[in-house]
Amino acid sequence: MHLPYASNSLDSKSKSDSVRMNRKQGGSSSIYSRASLLETKKERIANPARVYDFLKSIGIEPDELDGLELPVTVDVMKERVDFLHTLGLTIEDINNYPLVLGCSVKKNMIPVLDYLGKLGVRRSTLTDFLRRYPQVLHASVVVDLAPVVKYLEGMDIKPNDIPRVLEKYPEVLGYKLEGTMSTSYPEIIGLDLGSRLLKQQSFLNSIIDFSHEDFGKIIEKMPQIVSLSNTPVIKHVEFLKNCGFSLDQVKKMVVGCPQLLALNMDIMKLNFNYFESKMGREFDELADFPAFFAYGLESTIRPRHQMVAKQGLKCSLAWLLNCSDAKFEERMNYDTIDMEEMEDDSSFDMNTLMEPRNDGSDSDFDEDSDEDYL
């Protein structure tokens, strides 16, 4: 199924290009046709307010959109809202997930919809699909969606059956953690998650005294934990305790970075040994930034530590690791470095682990035998 949205967008783009060309040609005949720099600045300041007023006028509360990059004109925002309406989404649906308004029609929505259509997702199921998993409109076809589809094919799901699986369980497109998706997928498609959640919560409470709030945070950050069986969880908790962390510290670390319970144990050991023998840091820093264990030693930790040490800088583990390679290089090239920023223990960003690795490891996640999982 091909979704015929791309051609409409291209027609719109051609008209816009034509209008801009006519304006440009007309502008060359008179200096008064050009807005002054001051007028342009005023226009840029006024436009966001107009966009917010437009959203309010159609029943959308823009409060949750603060900080989100939105169109600078009402016309472009109206185009996004109208496009979402053509997909069957209502104002109520948009209010349930207003971040969808940050998606460009041409750059985000159309490529995703075309890809789903080519897979065989039916137009008649698309509205319900997007209501259940609107985040798909933010996704990259190449980086996010295609690898999941390829993974499903590797599970011996026939190509013709994949669109039916996605129609029924669109949330599966949000599972990105290599090494854990294979264990969580059966839970999504066949088992009673309610009883499974209670059982897993009871088990985790028996080894680490999590509150209901803590467990909720863990599930939100890593839903795959529902399908981890007792063996790997106990193994990872014991490793952390053997490193010298107290039970309270282990609890704090797992809540902050639940991936600790599924990481490749060999990588965790290498990272910890390097931390102890080479980095000269306080032990408690690991409890404050447990995601340290998830980074590649040779690809990220060692080279960044050596660069910082060479310059004689002192910084938090979060400042050292919790950014892309490009951002880190930028930091190293600053003429002056903000000391408050260097001490900032910001929240762990999983996206910083999604960059290609060169440390020779196929996966950062534990590749236990099938019996370790349910």
User: Are the folds of 6-17+32-174 and 229-372 the same?
Assistant: yes
Query: Domain locations in the chain?
Result: 6-17+32-174, 229-372
By CB atoms closer than 10 A (0-12, 13-18, 19+), residue 228 is buried
Please count the other Cβ atoms lying within 10 Å of the Cβ belonging to residue 223. 20
What is the pTM assigned to this prediction? 0.47
Task: Pick left, alpha or beta for residue 317 (phi over 0 → left; psi -120 to 50 → alpha; otherwise beta).
Answer: alpha
Which tens digits make up the pLDDT trace of 116-173? 999 999 999 999 899 888 889 988 888 888 888 887 776 667 788 889 888 887 877 8
pLDDT digits (tens, 9 = 90+) for 48-97: 788 888 988 999 877 767 666 778 788 999 999 999 999 999 998 888 88
Q: Please tell me the CATH code under which domain 6-17+32-174 is placed.
A: 1.25.70.10
Rounded Cα distance between 233 and 203, Å, is 10
- Tell me what the mean pLDDT of segment 280-286 comes to: 92
Q: Write down the pLDDT at residue 30.
A: 47
Q: What is the mean pLDDT of the chain?
A: 75
Q: What is the mean pLDDT of residues 239-247?
A: 95
Confidence category of residue 224, pLDDT binned at 50, 70, 90 = low
Of 348 and 367, more confident: 348
- pLDDT-derived band at 220, boundaries 50, 70, 90: confident
Give DSSP secondary structure letters for 58-100.
TT--GGGGTTS---SSHHHHHHHHHHHHHTT--HHHHHHSGGG
Superfamily holding 229-372: Transcription termination factor 3, mitochondrial (1.25.70.10)
